[in-house]
């Protein structure tokens, strides 16, 4: 009856780990971290910080052996060590075989296809030479099977003229989608099989530059599309049997079809605003899921937005936050700084959550915030 | 223009400090703590934990000299050391002379009276012998001037027959108030003089036993009473010139009058629910205030409640949380555990926040939670 809380070890100690550790304070769940960077975002937030590679078998195995439960905040970790720990009776959530599937976009996409989940058409290829043989399939994105992360490992191949830009490694060609919106649904599942999805959020693009400008929640979509997006996420995590949170990134095509783009088996950039705008944050939800607790209510109580705070171009060195007072003076604006000492151009240094009572209010605040804050050195 | 964040030292490392440190992660404000208990709630949340007495001049002085800014999470600290630090140019918020005033209920009550703030009638007395000379003033509460805390140092003197129960020390007699509700307003002020109040909350009493059962937000009061309660809190912090948050506890009498009961110059038990139910929490607000940042929006986005989680009677030893899974299964219920290893009867071990869409929903959830959870050993 009385709950004895597990000892938890986390692979990775970056900003996602930082927010996970912050949420874990509520439940008095001390979490140890493993990260190669001795000044990783988590290092001041745990009394059990280990410096080391989460991609090295021995390091992961020996780190993991100390705990009842292992989780991750980055999926590019040593799977073999996690499988060994699992075989020795330690709980590893999300499960290693699912990390193995997600780590390779070829297997991930094939999984969607095999199990009848909607996704953009694709063809597996082994090298850049094979792009030529698939000229009929262009325009497409070439994606590396392994090692892609945070926008890396993806190349647009518009026509045969772009073939020289291609990667010469195993990957896939994915049909370029003419999409109306890019959506994300974060969904969680605990070992008992309880599943809850957060409302879909939407990436807002700059009308001219076509760059992701900021995230807004909830997405401006019909109740039918909302239901379909949540249903896809729920069916997917159920089919996978994953324990933890799963971020499902999707395209809404111009003809109203939802296609899964890709998934991340951990708290995700598209869920930062849940800390401020939902009853339960994605971080608390992940902790509830992996420890086998009932999942929390995912309801959004406000409109919200999220802007990444990137290092300004041209500045490298100890970070300074120019305009912090200005944005703190805007009602409903809450910065979250990742505690990184050194800024570099485009380095993710933090994010800013916006709360409001309408989408228009969120859009206005996003514009104000963008004009006001810079990370310089 | 660019903000350089101050080095902060905190006197006290209990649960209020714990929630303050948790909020400080957002703004990347590392906070050092001083507490006599080596296992205080904060000790795992800061890399700069100092074990020592916050009531000892030398300890406070030497601890404080390392920082740009000192704050407190308990008001029973060594004021002389804080005054010395302030004289040497270190910022101390809330200011030492205000802590001195609040530490002594005699000076605190006299301050309210002198500045025209409504408060229950009182008479200063020097010893229990003086109670007899004030028999005409009974029934009353005798309150110790100094050293009262968390319900200690208060004695009900109903009639001459109770005089033997009185304290033989300087204090005051305060007219027993026949009140309808007990309210609290948390208000904050920064050094620039910006002031913001949180909506009034209400302590709900057990209908038979007349004990505080739980807190509910917002209070069920008319807009006029709400405005008056907030106005009193705003005028009081302005009159005091206090920097930080101030919790103002008030009585609403049966004839609709508001009387100030007492104040606490720090985050307070009556503001825990702001973490989950308001745009800005009282902890973030305190950090914004003492660091000179603009104050955050205090709006409540949900109805909420807060129950203290006390150690069950008859259990002393390593704490176990019976029924934690049960309460986590109730929508909108979020526990906050203080990380205390040892439970004792009635020790504050944590609290539970309830979110809902009506007061009735909060009351129902409070009942369910009370039936379900116990801290045992």
Q: Give the residue from chain A lying closest to B29, CA to CA.
A: A339
Q: What is the spatial distance between Cα B373 and Cα B321, in angstroms, rounded to a whole number?
A: 7
Contacts of A329 in chain B (CB under 8 A): 294
CA distance B48 to chain A (A): 10
Candidates B16, B188, B279: best to mutate against A (most CBs of A within 10 A) is: B279
CA distance B44 to chain A (A): 6
**A28-47: pLDDT as tens digits:** 999 999 999 999 999 999 98
* Higher-pLDDT residue of A15, B133: A15
Q: Inspect the interface and report whether the beta carbons of B288 and A328 lie closer than 8 Å.
A: yes
CA distance A193 to chain B (A): 14
Asked whether the beta carbons of B204 and B188 are under 8 A apart, the reply is: no
CA distance A324 to chain B (A): 7
The percent helix, strand, coil of chain B (3-state, each to 5) is 30, 30, 40
Q: How confident is the model at residue A2 (pLDDT cuts 50, 70, 90)?
A: very low
pLDDT (0 to 100) of residue A69: 98
pLDDT (0 to 100) of residue A147: 77
Is there a binding annotation on residue B352? Answer: no
What are the two backbone dihedrals, phi and then psi, of residue B48, each rounded to the nearest 5 degrees?
-125, 65
Query: Which of helix, strand or coil describes residue B301?
Result: coil
- For residue B237, give the nearest of B187, B194, B271 by alpha carbon: B187
What is the number of CB-based contacts under 8 A between chain A and chain B?
A: 110
- For residue A219, give the nearest of A205, A199, A233 by alpha carbon: A199
A→B contacts (Cβ < 8 Å), by residue, are: 1-4, 18, 22, 25-28, 30, 44-47, 276, 279-280, 284, 288, 293-294, 296-297, 301-302, 320-325, 328-329, 331-332, 334-339, 350, 355, 376
The answer, yes or no, to whether residue A192 has pLDDT greater than 90, is yes
Residue with tokens 């949900």: B302
Residue boundaries of the structural domains of chain B: 8-92, 121-175, 179-376
Q: Give the residue from chain B lying closest to A296, CA to CA.
A: B331
The percent helix, strand, coil of chain A (3-state, each to 5) is 30, 30, 40
Q: Inspect the interface and report whether the beta carbons of A334 and B18 lie closer than 8 Å.
A: no
Q: Both tokens of residue B281?
A: 């929490």
pLDDT (0 to 100) of residue B160: 82
Q: Both tokens of residue A75?
A: 């999926």
pLDDT (0 to 100) of residue B4: 67
CA distance B276 to chain A (A): 7
Is there a binding annotation on residue A220? Answer: no
The answer, yes or no, to whether residue A178 has pLDDT greater than 80, is yes
CA distance A82 to chain B (A): 27
CA distance A373 to chain B (A): 9
Is there a binding annotation on residue B261? Answer: yes
Q: Inspect the interface and report whether the beta carbons of B337 and A284 lie closer than 8 Å.
A: no
Q: Inspect the interface and report whether the beta carbons of A339 and B22 lie closer than 8 Å.
A: no
What are the two backbone dihedrals, phi and then psi, of residue B13, each rounded to the nearest 5 degrees?
-135, 35
Kindly state the percentage of chain A with pLDDT values over 90: 86
pLDDT (0 to 100) of residue B128: 85
B70, β-bridge pairs: B9, B92
Q: Both tokens of residue A168?
A: 């010469």
pTM here is 0.95
Is there a binding annotation on residue A174? Answer: yes
Q: Inspect the interface and report whether the beta carbons of B1 and A25 lie closer than 8 Å.
A: no
Q: Inspect the interface and report whether the beta carbons of A4 and B296 lie closer than 8 Å.
A: no
Q: What is the DSSP letter of B294?
A: P
**A284-316: pLDDT as tens digits:** 999 999 999 999 999 999 999 999 999 999 999
Q: Both tokens of residue B270?
A: 């009556």
Q: Inspect the interface and report whether the beta carbons of B301 and A302 lie closer than 8 Å.
A: yes
Choose among B3, B25, B325: nearest Cβ to A45: B25
Q: Give the residue from chain B lying closest to A291, CA to CA.
A: B325
The rounded radius of gyration (Å) of the Cα atoms in chain B is 21
Q: What is the spatial distance between Cα B341 and Cα B77, in angstroms, rounded to a whole number?
A: 25
**A335-347: pLDDT as tens digits:** 999 999 999 999 9
pLDDT (0 to 100) of residue A1: 39
**A46-76: pLDDT as tens digits:** 989 999 999 999 999 999 999 999 999 999 9
- For residue B92, give the nearest of B65, B64, B69, B58 by alpha carbon: B69
Candidates A6, A13, A20, A25: best to mutate against B (most CBs of B within 10 A) is: A25
Q: How far is CA B276 from the centre of its chain?
A: 17
Q: Inspect the interface and report whether the beta carbons of B25 and A22 lie closer than 8 Å.
A: yes
The rounded radius of gyration (Å) of the Cα atoms in chain A is 21
The answer, yes or no, to whether residue A104 has pLDDT greater than 90, is yes
Candidates A272, A294, A361, A376: best to mutate against B (most CBs of B within 10 A) is: A294
What are the two backbone dihedrals, phi and then psi, of residue A124, each rounded to the nearest 5 degrees?
-75, 135
Q: What is the DSSP letter of A39?
A: T
Choose among A284, A297, A335: nearest Cβ to B332: A297
Is there a binding annotation on residue B143? Answer: yes
Q: Where are the alpha helices (DSSP H) in B73-221?
A: 79-87, 96-103, 105-114, 129-133
Is there a binding annotation on residue A377? Answer: no
The answer, yes or no, to whether residue A349 has pLDDT greater than 60, is yes
pLDDT (0 to 100) of residue A8: 97
CB atoms closer than 10 angstroms to residue B322: 16
Maximum pairwise Cα distance, chain A: 66
Q: Both tokens of residue B336?
A: 């906050």
**A196-252: pLDDT as tens digits:** 999 999 998 766 655 567 999 999 999 999 999 999 999 999 999 999 999 999 999
Q: Inspect the interface and report whether the beta carbons of B328 and A293 lie closer than 8 Å.
A: yes
Q: What strand order describes the sheet that includes A374-376?
A: A374-376, A320-322, B2-3
Q: Inspect the interface and report whether the beta carbons of B279 and A332 lie closer than 8 Å.
A: yes
Q: Give A8-92's CATH code, choosing from 3.40.50.20, 3.30.1490.190, 3.30.56.10, 3.60.15.10.
A: 3.40.50.20
pLDDT (0 to 100) of residue A213: 77
Is there a binding annotation on residue B340? Answer: no
Choose among B27, B28, B332: nearest Cβ to A279: B332
Residue with tokens 């905040």: A73
Q: Inspect the interface and report whether the beta carbons of B2 and A27 lie closer than 8 Å.
A: no
pLDDT (0 to 100) of residue B1: 38
Is there a binding annotation on residue A228? Answer: no
Q: Both tokens of residue B123?
A: 């008479």
Cα distance from N-terminal residue to C-terminal residue, chain A: 53
pLDDT (0 to 100) of residue B164: 85
Contacts of B322 in chain A (CB under 8 A): 1-3
CA distance B1 to chain A (A): 6
Fold classification of B121-175 is Dna Ligase; domain 1 (3.30.1490)
Q: What is the DSSP letter of B7?
A: P
Q: Give the residue from chain A lying closest to B291, CA to CA.
A: A325
Q: What is the mean pLDDT of each run of 10 residues along chain B (377 residues)?
A: 76 98 96 97 93 98 98 96 98 98 95 96 91 90 83 85 88 92 97 98 75 87 97 98 98 96 96 97 98 97 96 95 96 96 94 96 95 95
Asked whether the beta carbons of B335 and B324 are under 8 A apart, the reply is: yes
Choose among B25, B30, B294: nearest Cβ to A325: B294
pLDDT (0 to 100) of residue B250: 97
Q: What is the spatial distance between Cα A35 and Cα A46, in angstroms, rounded to a whole number?
A: 12
Candidates B28, B41, B353: best to mutate against A (most CBs of A within 10 A) is: B28
Q: Give A179-376's CATH code, choosing from 3.30.470.20, 3.40.190.10, 2.60.120.560, 1.10.240.10.
A: 3.30.470.20
């Amino acid at each position: 009856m009385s709950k004895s809380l597990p000892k938890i070890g986390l692979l990775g100690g970056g900003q996602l780990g930082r927010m996970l550790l912050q949420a874990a304070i509520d439940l008095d769940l001390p979490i140890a971290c493993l990260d190669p960077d001795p000044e990783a975002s988590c290092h001041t937030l745990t009394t059990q910080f280990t410096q080391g590679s989460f991609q090295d078998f021995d390091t992961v195995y020996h780190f993991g052996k100390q705990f009842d439960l292992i989780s991750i905040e980055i999926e590019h970790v040593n799977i073999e060590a996690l499988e060994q720990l699992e075989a020795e009776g330690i709980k590893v959530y999300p499960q290693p075989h699912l990390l193995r599937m997600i780590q390779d976009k070829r297997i991930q996409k094939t999984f969607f296809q095999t199990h009848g989940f909607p996704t953009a058409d694709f063809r597996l290829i082994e090298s850049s030479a094979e792009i030529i043989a698939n000229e009929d399939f262009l325009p497409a994105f070439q994606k590396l099977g392994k090692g892609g992360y945070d926008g890396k490992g993806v190349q647009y191949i518009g026509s045969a003229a772009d073939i020289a830009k291609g990667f010469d490694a195993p990957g896939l060609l994915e049909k370029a989608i003419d999409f109306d919106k890019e959506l994300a649904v974060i969904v969680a599942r605990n070992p008992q099989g309880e599943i809850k999805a957060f409302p879909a959020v939407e990436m807002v693009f700059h009308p001219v530059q076509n760059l992701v400008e900021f995230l807004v929640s909830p997405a401006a979509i019909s109740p039918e599309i909302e239901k379909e997006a949540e249903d896809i996420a729920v069916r997917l995590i159920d089919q996978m049997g994953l324990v933890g949170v799963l971020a499902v990134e999707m395209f809404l095509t111009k003809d109203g079809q939802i296609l899964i783009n890709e998934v991340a088996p951990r708290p995700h950039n598209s869920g930062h605003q849940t800390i401020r705008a939902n009853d339960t944050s994605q971080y608390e939800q992940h902790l509830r899921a992996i420890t086998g607790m009932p999942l929390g209510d995912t309801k959004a109580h406000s409109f919200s937005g999220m802007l990444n705070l990137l290092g300004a171009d041209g500045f490298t060195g100890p970070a300074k936050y120019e305009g912090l007072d200005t944005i703190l003076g805007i009602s409903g604006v809450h910065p979250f700084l990742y505690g990184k000492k050194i800024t570099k151009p485009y380095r993710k240094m933090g994010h800013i959550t916006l709360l409001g009572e309408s989408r228009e209010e969120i859009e206005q605040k996003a514009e104000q915030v963008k004009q006001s804050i810079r990370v310089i050195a």
